[in-house]
Amino acid sequence: MSHADILAASGLSKSDTTGGTLAVRTPVDGSEIARLKVHGAAEADAMIARAHGAFLAWRKVPAPRRGEFVRLLGEELRRQKQALGALVTLECGKILQEGLGEVQEMIDICDFAVGLSRQLYGLTIASERPGHAMRETWHPMGVCGVITAFNFPVAPWCWNAALALVCGDPVIWKPSEKTPLTALAVQKICEKVRAGFGDDAPEGLTQVLIGDRELGEALTANPKVAIVSATGSVPMGRAVAADMSKRLGRTILELGGNNAMIVAPSADLEMALRAIVFSAVGTAGQRCTSLRRLIVQEDVYDALMPRLIKAYEGLPIGDPLAGGTLVGPLIDSQAMVAMDAALETAKSQGGSVHGGGRALADSHPAAAYVRPAIVEMPSQSSIMHRETFAPILYVVKYRALDDAIAMQNAVPQGLSSCIFSTDVRETEHFLSAAGSDCGIANVNIGPSGAEIGGAFGGEKETGGGRESGSDAWKGYMRRQTNTINYSRELPLAQGIRFDI
């Protein structure tokens, strides 16, 4: 399939993809595949106004009916899974299996949200006063701005949007300026669903803002945007948080990760090996949950490392749309430069590098293919405290498990983590209050590839937000505590007397 065919299959017309100023290049070969019109701040405000109008109507639509909208969205995504998955690959460079996986994640969260639409459970609560009923209910919150990053161009939007829509909140999406096409394609799907839904799905229920950082600021600045959910870098997240703190608005932040795996002596090394490669190299190391640090017990270090280096050497690098490829390109040449710089720094800190360096330069001169790198480090030095969005895997040794956990927790990020061990004392300790400080902590699987049923996110510089499963939906609603006095008395709480 040609790139043009992929665009067409996604429902994007010529007029959608031409005539603008924002050049979209595919990392597959670096070629320009579209040139989009961008929105300005005034258009952003108009969209927000439209979304707020939609909110006033949508909040009154019963939640199960809102769920029906999301169910239909999931059905349409099922229908368009192949096309949209290919577009994801074309636009962000992840291999097709992962592009399809991302669409599947959208579908899964839609199914989950449909179930939520008959729950959105608040509580009835025992009151201390006779003739009083107490309860807590959850109500729609308002317009939800969603800022997404290039590496997961569509799934995080859907984590947010499926929940937000069921919760009664219209969504305005500002995708990465590197991956706006997938956003447009998804918006077309939404509009198709809306067209078939009925009058109670208002105009402006889902919208897309195309452009750069200033549009993000348009969202954070406008008090009609009740929630800003942002996925991306720590500096971006800090900026969003600072802006929102001015108006005491709500944020859901999913920022950087610096994810480690501890390999214990009792680990199944064959499984660990496969998990390492997938989680360090998948999406060319550009997942927020990519494995970046490998902390290996010294007794198994020599058994593991040669096999790992060998596995890396055999990795098929190439066109992510082609079957068999496991490593696609980086998003752009800046990413390649950053990777090189990190490897240089690592070397200067004593690191011994395996792999790394540009690949396919001849066949794909305008693209940023690289060879994934393993760096054996003498200790966890400063470079390992940073997140470099590239397939670099730092490896250090440990002796005692608590040292490994301390290393794992020593970085400023707090997203994902895992241990490979078959010893239940080790695994439960790793999951305990004294174990990993990450929002995600796994046993005998890698740090990436979460199921949608759990809450996704982490503390520290990861930003503290939670998306997707569990009760992440509460982030899209406002909580209201009610006390209803149905008696003819007026007793005060805490037994206070106040008689006028």
Binding to a second copy (CB under 8 A): which residues in 9-28?
none
Asked whether position 137 contacts a second copy by CB under 8 A, the answer is yes
DSSP per position, 393-410: EEEEEESSHHHHHHHHHS
> Token match 């108009």: residue?
46
Considering CB under 8 A, how many residues would be counted as binding a second copy? Answer: 132
Q: Could you give the 3-state DSSP secondary structure of residue 377?
A: coil
- Among positions 249-308, residues that touch a second copy (CB under 8 A) are 250, 253, 255, 268, 271, 274-275, 277-278, 282
CB within 8 A of 61, min separation 6: which ones? 168, 200, 201
Structure-token pair, residue 388:
């470099």
The dihedral built from the CA positions of residue 73, 75, 80 and 85, taken in this order, carries a sign that is positive
Angstrom distance (rounded) from CA 278 to CA 289:
11
| Minimum CB distance to a second copy, residue 180 (Å) | 23
* Largest Cα span, the chain: 89
- What long-range pairs does 494-498 form, CB within 8 A, spacing at least 24? none
Subset of 150-179 contacting a second copy (CB under 8 A): 168
> Could you say whether residue 353 binds a second copy (CB under 8 A)?
no
Residues annotated catalytic, as ranges: 254
Q: Within 13 Å of residue 183, how many CA atoms lie on the same side as its CB?
A: 29
- Residue given tokens 């209910």 in the structure block: 137
**333 counts as binding a second copy under rule CB under 8 A:** no
Nearer to a second copy, 91 or 169 (CB): 169
Give the residue, chosen from 82, 238, 321, 409, that forms a contact with a second copy under the rule CB under 8 A.
238
Per CB under 8 A, the list member of 29, 102, 376, 387 interacting with a second copy is 102
Beta bridge partners of 393: 374
* The only residue of 148, 293, 427, 476 in contact with a second copy, by rule CB under 8 A: 427
By C-beta, is 347 or 386 nearer to a second copy? Answer: 386
Site for a second copy in 312-331 (CB under 8 A): 314-315, 326
**Contacts to a second copy from residues 357-386, by CB under 8 A:** none
Closest CA to 117 of 430, 476, 485: 476
User: Using CB under 8 A, which residues numbered 439 to 498 contact a second copy?
Assistant: 439-445, 449-456, 459-464, 466, 469-470, 478-488, 490, 492-498
Does 224 sit near a second copy (CB under 8 A)? no
Among 13, 18, 31, 124, binds a second copy (CB under 8 A): 124
In DSSP notation, 453-472 reads TSEE--SGGG-S--EESTTG
Rule CB under 8 A: choose which of 5, 19, 32, 128 binds a second copy. 128
Binder among 12, 33, 72, 141 for a second copy (CB under 8 A) = 141
What's the angle, vertex CA 465, arms to CA 149 and CA 396, rounded to 5? 75
What is the x/- site pattern for a second copy, positions 62-101, by CB under 8 A? Answer: xxxx-x---x-------------------------xx-xx
Q: Compare residues 17 and 251 and give the one whose CB is closer to a second copy.
A: 251
Kindly state whether residue 345 participates in binding a second copy, applying the rule CB under 8 A: no
Of 258, 266, 269, 297, whose CA–CA distance to 396 is shortest? 297
**What residues numbered 387-416 form the site for a second copy, per CB under 8 A?**
none
Q: Does 211 bind a second copy (CB under 8 A)?
A: no
**C-alpha–C-alpha distance, residues 182 and 95, integer Å:** 15
The residue (of 17 and 408) whose beta carbon lies closer to a second copy is: 408
Q: Phi and psi at residue 444, in whole multiples of 5°?
A: 60, 20
